[in-house]
Amino acid sequence: MMIQWFPGHMNRAKRAIQELVSDIDVVIELLDARAPFSSCNPLLQSIIKKKKKIRLLNKSDLADPKVTQAWLEYFQKQKDTIAITGDKDDKKQKNTIIRLCRELAPTRNSFEKPLRVMITGIPNVGKSTLINQLVGKKSAKTGDIPAVTKANQRLVLADDFLIYDTPGMMWQKIQFSQVGFHLAICNSIGRNALDEELMAHYLLNYLKVAHPEELCTRYKLKAEDMFLADNQLLNQLGKKRGCIMPGGVIDIQKASEIAIQDFREGRIGKISLETPDMWERWIGQAQDEEKSVALEEEKSNEAQV
Ligand SMILES: Nc1nc2c(ncn2[C@@H]2O[C@H](COP(=O)(O)OP(=O)(O)OP(=O)(O)O)[C@@H](O)[C@H]2O)c(=O)[nH]1
Ligand SMILES: [Mg+2]
């Protein structure tokens, strides 16, 4: 699915982060634990350059714990990266995050030289919720739709510790269709840009192979339903959930929305959409395709000479 979602405020979000970054000591990049690779912003590194960075795999309560562990190991292997999980209901994470930030910038520890931490990440990943947890009160506006935060906001955790909330930042060119699907399914892309039926097909196609038992349990489906084509499976789901229009026709739009919303709220199970192995394979396939296109071009150029 090619996503055409790059509204004006995404450019503003990028500028807001660029303006702030020179005054920052530590950057916390929130990733969605269900799709950590897809939610990694390729622009961020070029903006933050050599700043100390923590990658926080947020909403880990909704992701498959084994897969999250594999992602933590994947990121820890990268240079200068600290990777941890995040869950808004984890009472211990506040102290862990504060401790890690202080360790990364030990000289920034006074009223005159406060530690300045920036929280970034794709829209709706949980930046403002995390900040409220760190600051200990409801200071930042939150909501389960993308692009709630519109401008940088400075919050005071302590006299020597400042936190900056930033608007969710998306990048313009989504190279892999999987990234588009995963971000859309995790609710980080504005609704207007989406085709829910396509998203539901993608989701069911994945779940019927990777999580057939959870899918069957949630929608009272039979094991043989897992062999249905995506549109038939969606039909079946609609039938089971009573999405029937006058004349007995299945309301596919409604069935699609139910599947997506159930996934987002963890009602199908703790499910991750991607693993490090899957990405290794997809990147390898893309490189092979690029090579064969280049080879074809070379051959046709030679033929023309
Ligand atoms: N299940 C779960 N939901 C979370 C978690 N953290 C945040 N959320 C929910 O995710 C939604 C988005 O949270 P926000 O904090 O507004 O996200 P944001 O990154 O600030 O979003 P924008 O400002 O729109 O970019 C809210 O409904 C939160 O309750 C988490 O760890 N687990
Ligand atoms: Mg926000």
Q: Which residue has the tokens 């900040």?
A: 131
Average pLDDT over residues 4-33: 84
Alpha carbon of 153 to ligand 2 centroid (Å): 10
* Separation CA 111–CA 23 (nearest Å): 15
How far is Cα 243 from Cα 264, in angstroms, rounded to an integer? 19
- Other Cβ atoms less than 10 A from the Cβ of 111: the count is 8
Considering every ligand atom shown, identify the ligand nearest to the alpha carbon of residue 147 and give its number.
1
Q: Which residues line ligand 1 (CB under 6 A)?
A: 58-59, 61-62, 86-88, 121, 123-129, 142-144, 146-149, 167-168
Nearest CA to ligand 1 atom 27: 144
Specify the ligand 1 atom closest to the Cα of 150: 23
Residue to mutate, 56, 97, 129, ligand 1, most ligand atoms under 8 Å from C-beta: 129
Atom of ligand 1 nearest to the CA of 62: 1
How far does the centroid of ligand 1 lie from the alpha carbon of residue 232, in Å?
Answer: 33
pLDDT band at residue 297, thresholds of 50, 70 and 90?
confident
The dihedral through the CA atoms of 207, 272, 31, 38 has a sign that is: negative
Angle between helices 93-104 and 127-135 (to 10 degrees): 90
Residue 234 confidence (pLDDT) above 80: yes
Confidence of residue 145 (pLDDT cuts 50, 70, 90): confident
* Percent of the chain scoring above 70 in pLDDT: 96
Question: Residue 99 corresponds to which amino acid?
Answer: R
Higher local confidence (pLDDT), 162 or 190: 162
Paired with 250 in beta bridges are 244
φ, ψ at 184 (rounded to 5°): -65, -45
Residue 13: pLDDT band (50, 70, 90) is: confident
DSSP class per residue in 111-141: SSS-EEEEEEESTTSSHHHHHHHHHTS--S-
- Provide the pLDDT confidence category of residue 290 given band limits of 50, 70 and 90: confident
Closest among 274, 202, 277 to 40, alpha carbons compared: 274
**DSSP structural state of residue 58:** E
CA 119 / ligand 2 centre spacing (Å) = 10
Specify the pairing of strand 153-158 against strand 52-58: unpaired
Phi, psi of 85 (to 5 degrees): -95, 160
Residue 33: what pLDDT? 98
Residue 8 has pLDDT above 70, yes or no: no
Q: Rounded to the nearest whole angstrom, what is the distance from the C-alpha of residue 191 to the centroid of ligand 2? A: 17
Q: In testing the pocket of ligand 1, which one of 84, 97, 124 has its CB within 8 Å of the most ligand atoms?
A: 124
CB distance 202 to 1 below 8 Å: yes
* pLDDT tens-digit map of 67-86: 999 999 999 998 878 999 99
Minimal-distance CA residue to ligand 1 atom 11: 144
Question: Is there a contact between 35 and 63 (Cβ–Cβ < 8 Å)?
Answer: no
Give the ligand with the smallest distance to the CA of 34.
Answer: 1
pLDDT band at 6 (very low <50, low <70, confident <90, very high): low
- pLDDT band for position 193 (cuts 50, 70, 90): low
Q: In what order do the strands lie in the sheet with 115-121?
A: 81-85, 52-58, 26-32, 115-121, 161-165, 153-158
* Nearest protein CA to atom 14 of ligand 1, as residue: 126
> What residues pair up with 78 in beta bridges, in sequence order?
none
Q: What's the pLDDT score for residue 49?
A: 87
Inter-residue contact 86 to 58 (CB < 8 Å): yes
CA of 183 to the centre of ligand 2 (A): 16
- What pLDDT does residue 7 have? 62
d(CA 122, CA 57): 12
